[in-house]
C-alpha cells in the first residue's frame, strides 16, 4: 500500500532563516505531488504541484519554492522566512494524469516563524 | 476568489442523529468532488468522492449528494458518532487539471452525547 511521510512535524524558525520541509511517498511510482498550506478560515491552499522529476508548477506567488529531486521526494524551501509564512503545511500525492484521482495527504508540518 | 464555499463554520449534532454538511461551488467546470475529515494537527483523511456523472455516492455511514444545477453538494453522516467530531472539508477539481483541487474553508462538527 502507498504511504506518505513528511517532516519535521513541527518547527519554530526565526524570521530570515531558511526552511526545508521534506516529503516522501512509498509504494507507488511517478505520483503527482503537491504542497498545500492551511490558512485560518480559508481552507487548504495549493502552493505547488509536480507531475514529474524537476517539473514544478507554482499556484500562488510567494516566498517559497519547491523541488522534486527524485520521483517520490518533494521538498518545500525558503531562503528567508517571513512571519506570514507561519502555518500548517501539507504534502499530498495522487496517481494518474487526470482528475478523478483522489489526493492523499501526509501528516502535516506546523511552521511557526518568530 | 473562493470557488468552493462551506458557509457553515460549525455544526453541533447529537450522537445517533444525522449530520448534514453543505458545500457550494461557483465553477461549473468542476466535475469531481471529494470530502475530507481532519483532526487537529493531522493531515486530512479522505472520506468519499463523487463525479459529476452521478448524483449520489454512498460508503457506509457516509453519503454524498451532488446537485449540479444548483452547484451544491452535501455530505450526510448517519448515525453520527463521537469519533466524527472533526473538521470536514469539501474539495472540487476539473478533469485533466492534474489533481489540483480547490478546498472549502471547512466545517467543524461536534457530536454530543
Q: For the segment A18-66, what is each residue's pLDDT rounded down to a tens digit? A: 999 999 999 988 899 999 998 766 689 999 999 999 999 988 878 899 9
Contact check, Cβ <8 Å, A102/B34: yes
Tell me which residue has cell 468519499.
B48
pLDDT more than 90, % of chain A: 72
For residue range B30-67, list pLDDT tens digits in order.
999 999 999 988 899 999 999 999 999 999 999 999 99
- Our CA-based measurement puts residue A10 at a distance from the nearest CA of chain B, in whole angstroms, of 10
Residues of B in contact with A104 (CB under 8 A): 46
Return the beta strands (E) in chain A as ranges. Answer: 3-7, 10-13, 19-26, 32-39, 43-52, 55-58, 65-70, 73-78, 87-94, 104-105, 109-113
Calpha distance B35→B19 (Å, rounded): 14
**pLDDT attached to residue A43:** 82
pLDDT more than 90, % of chain B: 87
Q: Which three cell numbers stand for residue A8?
A: 519535521
Q: Taking 90 as the threshold, does the pLDDT of residue B89 lie above it?
A: yes
Nearest to B105 among A36, A43, A46 (CB): A43
Provide Rg for chain B, Cα atoms.
Answer: 13
* DSSP, res B85: -
Q: Give the torsion through C-alpha atoms of B13, B17, B18, B21, to 10 deg.
A: 10
Nearest to B43 among A45, A99, A108 (CB): A108
Residues of A in contact with B43 (CB under 8 A): 90, 92, 105-108
**pLDDT attached to residue A102:** 85
Q: Taking 50 as the threshold, does the pLDDT of residue A99 lie above it?
A: no
Return the beta strands (E) in A14-64 as ranges. Answer: 19-26, 32-39, 43-52, 55-58
Distance of CA B19 to the CA centre of its chain: 11
Contact check, Cβ <8 Å, A43/B89: yes
Residues of B in contact with A98 (CB under 8 A): 95-96, 98
pLDDT interval class at A109 (50, 70, 90): very high
**pLDDT attached to residue A96:** 66
User: Which residues between 27 and 86 in chain B have a beta carbon less than 8 angstroms from any beta carbon of chain A?
Assistant: 31-32, 34, 36, 41-46, 49, 51
Residues A91-113: what's their mean pLDDT? 83
Contact check, Cβ <8 Å, B4/A43: yes
Quick one: which of A66, A88, A82, A87 has its CA closest to A22? A66
pLDDT interval class at A101 (50, 70, 90): confident
Chains A–B, number of C-beta pairs less than 8 Å apart? 72
Amino acid at each position: 500500500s502507498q504511504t506518505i511521510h513528511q517532516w519535521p512535524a513541527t518547527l519554530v524558525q526565526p524570521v530570515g532563516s531558511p526552511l526545508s520541509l521534506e516529503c516522501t511517498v512509498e509504494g507507488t511510482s511517478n505520483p503527482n505531488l503537491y504542497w498545500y498550506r492551511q490558512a485560518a478560515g480559508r481552507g487548504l491552499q495549493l502552493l505547488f504541484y509536480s507531475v514529474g522529476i524537476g517539473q514544478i508548477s507554482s499556484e500562488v506567488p510567494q516566498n517559497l519554492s519547491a523541488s522534486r529531486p527524485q520521483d517520490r521526494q518533494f521538498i518545500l524551501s525558503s531562503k528567508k522566512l517571513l512571519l506570514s509564512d507561519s502555518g500548517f503545511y501539507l504534502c499530498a500525492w495522487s496517481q494518474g494524469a487526470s482528475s478523478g484521482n483522489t489526493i492523499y495527504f501526509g501528516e502535516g508540518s506546523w511552521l511557526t516563524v518568530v | 476568489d473562493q470557488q468552493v464555499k462551506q458557509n457553515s463554520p460549525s455544526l453541533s449534532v447529537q450522537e445517533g442523529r444525522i449530520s448534514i454538511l453543505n458545500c457550494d461551488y461557483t465553477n461549473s467546470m468542476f466535475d469531481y468532488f471529494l470530502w475530507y475529515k481532519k483532526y487537529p494537527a493531522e493531515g486530512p483523511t479522505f472520506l468519499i468522492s463523487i463525479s459529476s456523472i452521478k448524483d449520489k455516492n454512498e460508503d457506509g455511514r457516509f453519503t454524498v449528494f451532488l446537485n449540479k444545477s444548483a452547484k451544491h453538494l452535501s455530505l450526510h453522516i448517519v448515525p453520527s458518532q463521537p469519533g466524527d467530531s472533526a473538521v470536514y472539508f469539501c474539495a472540487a477539481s476539473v478533469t485533466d487539471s492534474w489533481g489540483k483541487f480547490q478546498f472549502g474553508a471547512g466545517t467543524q462538527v461536534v457530536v454530543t452525547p
